Amino acid sequence: MIDFKNTQIAFEAKSNADLRRAKILFNAIKHTWVVKLGKIFVYITTKLRFPVGWLLKPTIYKQFVGGETLEKCTPLAQQLMKYNIRSIFDYSAEGGGSDKDIQQTFDEFIRSIEYAKGNENVAYTVFKPTALTTDELLEKASSKAELNEEEQKQYDAYKQRFEKLCQRAYDNDVRILVDAEDYCFQDAIDEFTEEMMRKFNKKRATVFTTLQMYRHDRLPYLAKLYNDAVENNYTVGMKFVRGAYMEKERERAKQLGYPDPVCQTKKATDENYNSGLLYVIEHIDKFEMFSGTHNEESNIVLANLIDKHNIARNDNRIFFAQLYGMSENLSYNLAHEGYNVAKYIPYAPVKKVLPYLIRRAEENTSIAGQTTRELELLKAELRRRKTVKKGK
C-alpha cells in the first residue's frame, strides 16, 4: 500500500523556505473571503492595467505556475525528472477572443509541441479547444444549429487549427491532450476529437479526449468509444478528470430547462470515476490512459488495478497526473513507487494567467478538505525536519 502521508518523500525537492511560503499561501486561501477579495483585486488591477507581477510572482504565481515561457520552465522540468516526474506544459493565458488572440494562442500551442519533441522530460502536450475559436460559435455548433456562411467559415478555420495541432503532434511523436470544456461546447469537441483519434491513433494513442466524470453520461460514452476503436482499428487516448464546471453546469441546466448533466452526489462522481478506470484497465488493449485527479482513493484504485492486472508500473500507456503546486504527496510517492507520473504545469506571463490563478485559489477553497490536507502535510514535514535537526 502506498503511504500518501510520507511527507519526507512528498517534499524531498522542497526547501524549508518553499514549505513555509506554501504554508502561508494555503493558510490565506483557506478563507473564502480572502479569495473573494483577491478576485476583486485582480479585476480592478486588470481594468486599470496596474502592474501586480511584483506582488504575485513570489507568492501564488510561484506556487502554481511554472514560468512565463517554455524556456523559463525548463529548469523545473529537469528538477521534476530527477524524481521520475514528467511535465505537461499548459499555456494558460486567458481573456482574449479576437482573431489576433486566437492566432497567438494557436502559435504557442504549436511551440509547446515542438518543445516536447524528443524531450524526455515532457509526457504530453495539451490545448483548450475554446482557445481556438469563440465560445458563441462553439456553443452553436455543439447544439447542431445551422451556421450561416460566415459562421461556417469560422468553424472550418477552427477545425483546421484543431487538426493542425493533432497533425503536428503526430509528426513529432508527441501525445496531445484535448481538454474538456463546458457541457454546452462538449458535443462538438467530442465529435471532432473522435475524428482525430480515428486518423492519428492507428499505431498508438497520439490524440487524447477528456471525460469529465462528474457527468453521468460519460461511462456509456466510454463504452461507445471502445466499440468505435474496435470497429475502426485505433487506440483511444483517454484522459479522466472529475470536472471543473459543476456549479455552472447545474445553474445553466436549471435556467434553460434541460436535465442536469452532473451526478447528483460526490459519491456518485467518485464511483463514476473509479468505474472508468476499471473499464479502461480491463480493455487496455484499446486504450492509453491519463488519470488526472487529486483524489487519494482514485489514485490507490488505479495503482492497485495496475498491479492486479500484472501491468508494469512503468507501462507507458498509463499515467497519473496532478496539478503543479498541489498534492505533492500523491505525485512524489507514486513516482517513488515506480508508477508513471506527470505534473500539469501552467505557464504564461503574470497578467495573462490571473484568471487561472484565481480558479486555483477558488478550487482549493471549495473542494472539501483540499486546503486543510495541504496545510497538514506541510506542517507535518516542517515538524519532521525540525525533529531530525534536533536529533543530530
* pLDDT reported for residue 46: 62
Best CA proximity match to 92, nearest among 102, 105, 79: 105
* pLDDT reported for residue 243: 87
Per-residue pLDDT tens digits for 346-389:
999 888 887 777 766 666 655 556 788 999 999 999 999 999 87
Cα–Cα distance measured from residue 295 to residue 61, given in angstroms and rounded to the nearest whole number = 23
The number of residues making up the chain comes to 392
Cα–Cα distance measured from residue 338 to residue 324, given in angstroms and rounded to the nearest whole number = 19
pLDDT tier at 236 (50, 70, 90 boundaries)?
A: very high
Query: How wide is the angle at C-alpha 54 spanned by C-alphas 49 and 57, nearest 5°?
Result: 105
Q: Return the minimum-mean-pLDDT range out of 52-61, 176-185, 189-198.
A: 52-61
> Average model confidence (pLDDT) for the chain?
91
- Which of 3.20.20.220, 3.40.50.10330, 3.40.50.2300, 3.40.50.720 is the CATH number of 68-344? 3.20.20.220
Cα–Cα distance measured from residue 163 to residue 126, given in angstroms and rounded to the nearest whole number = 13
Per-residue pLDDT tens digits for 15-71:
999 999 999 888 887 777 666 766 666 666 666 565 666 567 777 888 999 999 999
Q: Where are the domains of the chain?
A: 1-65+348-392, 68-344
The pTM for the full model equals: 0.93
Per-residue pLDDT tens digits for 96-121:
678 898 999 999 999 999 999 999 99
% of the chain with per-residue pLDDT over 90: 74
* pLDDT reported for residue 367: 58
* pLDDT reported for residue 39: 67
| DSSP letter for each residue of 291-356 | EE---HHHHHHHHHHHHHTT--TT-TTEEEEEETTS-HHHHHHHHHTT--EEEEEEE--HHHHHHH
CA distances from 160 to 106, 132, 147, 153, 196 (A): 11, 10, 17, 11, 11
3-state secondary structure of 87: strand
CA distances from 173 to 14, 117, 120, 226, 277 (A): 33, 7, 12, 23, 25
3-state secondary structure of 141: helix
Cα–Cα distance measured from residue 59 to residue 71, given in angstroms and rounded to the nearest whole number = 21
Residues 6+ apart with CB under 8 A from 289: 238, 239, 240, 277, 280, 281, 317, 318, 319
* pLDDT reported for residue 52: 65
Judge whether residue 181 has pLDDT over 60: yes
Judge whether residue 8 has pLDDT over 80: yes
Higher pLDDT, 6 or 28: 6
Parallel, antiparallel or unpaired: strands 207-212 and 287-292: unpaired
Higher pLDDT, 258 or 43: 258
Cα–Cα distance measured from residue 30 to residue 32, given in angstroms and rounded to the nearest whole number = 6
pLDDT tier at 93 (50, 70, 90 boundaries)?
A: confident
Judge whether residue 180 has pLDDT over 90: yes
Amino acid residing at 147: L
Q: What is the DSSP code (8-state) at residue 67? A: B
- Region 183-200: mean pLDDT is 96
Cα–Cα distance measured from residue 194 to residue 285, given in angstroms and rounded to the nearest whole number = 18
